[in-house]
Amino acid sequence: MTRRFVVAGMLHETNTFSPVATPLASFFSRTSALGPQDGPMLTGQRAIDAFGHVNVAFAAFVAAAREAGGEIDVPVYANAAPSAPTDRVAYDTMADAIVEAVKRGCDAVMLDLHGAMVAEGLDDGEAELLRRIRDIAPEVPIAVALDFHANISPALAARADIITGYRTYPHVDMRETGERAAHTLLARLEGRAAPFVIHRWLPMLTHMNQHSPQFQPMKDIMGRARAAEASGEVLNASVFGGFPLADIPFAGLSVVVVADGEAGRERGESLADELAEQAWQRREEFIFRLEPMATTIARAKTATAFPVVLADHSNNTASGGSVDTMESIEEVLHQGLEGVVAGPICDPIAVQTMIEAGVGRRITLAVGGRTDMPSIGRKGRPLTLTGTVRAITDGEFTITGPMMTGARVSAGRTAVLDTGTMQLVVSERRIEPADLGVFTHCGIDPLRARYLLIHSRQHFRAGFEPIAREILMVAGPGVCSSDYSQFPFERVTRPIYPLDPQMRLER
């Protein structure tokens, strides 16, 4: 008998301090895949056509279902850039579509989720989705792929049979994460494994600049998880850095081990304890030390090997930023750096002004600073610039770098302003500069720049680390800052490290 698989994606990393709204359309606007024939959501074969070949977990799920000779029902593939809590109607629309597909009957569910989704009135978007599925299908096997930045609650862990997480940041193993979950799921369907989830959560808000498995201490900790999975000690093992910019009770680092039946329980529990213990013991190493922005820019000015990447990490797309703060750009202009390529800054008004002026025209205009950030008490502050409009594009390109390889993305209409010392890319939509395409698609060769000033925290490394001769982290202002003292945390579990630096762990 042909097996039926429900395969869906509903991804959002919610920065509860973000000023950027999250309506239903934002789940489909990053890509140009949603056409007029689709209605409000990307579903079915159209979703498979758009993302079935992309480096995302969803693609692995589709491939696994096909290999198993199954029928595939795709109620939705939705993936929004990080921002404020999801509009509740949007959440219910997507969740209802998934639940309806499960109601039609299925042998297994494969979900490509983020793990840090907050919706209006719902702290735990993923656990609520699984609750609704479990209400109608209590026994159906559910495999879930999550982002490294998932904030995993006990409720989510209890409702899934299999959970795997990205083990890289920048996330270049999204598809592999889906393959790992699907592999375990198929073993379960064929009676070769009896997977169940073991979960540990730690009261730790790690610094995102410091918790990548690319660096210590996560390199060691994730390395141990990888080795345990590779050797067959457990079915799957993942460590999650967590997403600290979420004022919810279960924000924090966690460990998820998928063990195999009662026979594997002890090994699984012991591995989960070991990984959690390592993370806690090394908690000080997850602290990122901030340097004043002007100091960093002054250091950049003395560089002798180019290009130098200047990563303003406090207001980036991929952590829920508005991507229109101009302070680092102002400082770079003020200190007189030359040969700068900067952006993309999100400012649809400035884009419109440049389009109306036309390529080749010299203009003076206000750029950026359109967004107020009430959560941290900041008003938006545009920067007035004079320059020549060098290019205007539709903002569309295909990702060729290692992160979400193959995805067709859109920054919205995009324009380039040349001030003489800086070429500034301005776009209608927020886009994380994880791929060189953000510049090359508008005719700029990043290799020829002396300085690449971008709003990004870590994902830029996917595309830019290979060409960078030096990388400097720039502490601009914004809702993605590593300075946690400026955020009005009220609902995170207390005590929590490092907000309560002297805390001890209760056992």
**Residues of this chain that bind Zn ion (CB under 5 A):** 147, 149
Instruction: Report the distance separating Cα 395 and Cα 36, nearest Å.
Output: 19
382-401 b/e with 16+ CB inside 10 Å = b? Answer: bbebebbbbbbbebbbebeb
Q: What is the DSSP letter of 429?
A: S
* In the complex, minimum distance from the CB of residue 221 to Zn ion, in angstroms, rounded to a whole number: 17
Taking the least distance from each CB to Zn ion, the nearer of 118 and 133 is 118
* In the complex, minimum distance from the CB of residue 319 to Zn ion, in angstroms, rounded to a whole number: 8
Based on C-alpha coordinates, what's the Rg of the chain? 22
Cβ(422)–Cβ(329) under 8 Å? yes
Taking the least distance from each CB to Zn ion, the nearer of 137 and 239 is 239
* In the complex, minimum distance from the CB of residue 289 to Zn ion, in angstroms, rounded to a whole number: 22
Taking the least distance from each CB to Zn ion, the nearer of 147 and 435 is 147
- Residue 236's contacts (CB-CB under 8 Å, 6 or more residues apart) are 162, 163, 164, 180, 181, 184, 195, 229, 256, 257, 258
Taking the least distance from each CB to Zn ion, the nearer of 147 and 347 is 147
Q: What is the DSSP letter of 378?
A: B
Instruction: Report the distance separating Cα 327 and Cα 502, nearest Å.
Output: 34
Taking the least distance from each CB to Zn ion, the nearer of 116 and 422 is 116
* In the complex, minimum distance from the CB of residue 393 to Zn ion, in angstroms, rounded to a whole number: 27
Taking the least distance from each CB to Zn ion, the nearer of 213 and 343 is 213
* In the complex, minimum distance from the CB of residue 114 to Zn ion, in angstroms, rounded to a whole number: 7
Taking the least distance from each CB to Zn ion, the nearer of 147 and 247 is 147
* In the complex, minimum distance from the CB of residue 323 to Zn ion, in angstroms, rounded to a whole number: 16
* In the complex, minimum distance from the CB of residue 435 to Zn ion, in angstroms, rounded to a whole number: 16
* In the complex, minimum distance from the CB of residue 236 to Zn ion, in angstroms, rounded to a whole number: 18
Cα atoms found within 13 Å of the Cα of residue 20, Cβ hemisphere only = 27
Taking the least distance from each CB to Zn ion, the nearer of 149 and 200 is 149
- Taking phi first (over 0 means left), then psi (-120 to 50 degrees means alpha), and beta for anything else, what does residue 372 get? beta
Map residue 172 onto helix, strand or coil. Answer: coil
Cα atoms found within 13 Å of the Cα of residue 484, Cβ hemisphere only = 23
Q: Scan for tokens 């290692």, then name that residue.
A: 402
DSSP 435-482: STHHHHTTT--GGG-SEEEEE-SSTHHHHHTTT-SEEEEE---STT-S
Q: Residue 87: phi, psi to the nearest 5?
A: -50, 135
Taking the least distance from each CB to Zn ion, the nearer of 81 and 367 is 81
Sign for the pseudo-dihedral over CA of 247, 250, 255, 261: negative
Instruction: Report the distance separating Cα 403 and Cα 436, nearest Å.
Output: 11
460-493 b/e with 16+ CB inside 10 Å = b? Answer: bbbbbeeebeeebbbbbbbbbbbeeeebebeebe
* In the complex, minimum distance from the CB of residue 459 to Zn ion, in angstroms, rounded to a whole number: 8
Map residue 73 onto helix, strand or coil. Answer: strand
Taking the least distance from each CB to Zn ion, the nearer of 177 and 353 is 177
DSSP 286-318: GPPPP--HHHHHHHHHT--SSPEEEEE-SS-GG
Which two three-digit tokens encode residue 297? Answer: 């820019």
H or E stretch covering 384: strand 383-393
Closest residue by beta carbon to Zn ion: 149
* In the complex, minimum distance from the CB of residue 13 to Zn ion, in angstroms, rounded to a whole number: 6
Taking the least distance from each CB to Zn ion, the nearer of 148 and 487 is 148
* In the complex, minimum distance from the CB of residue 25 to Zn ion, in angstroms, rounded to a whole number: 22
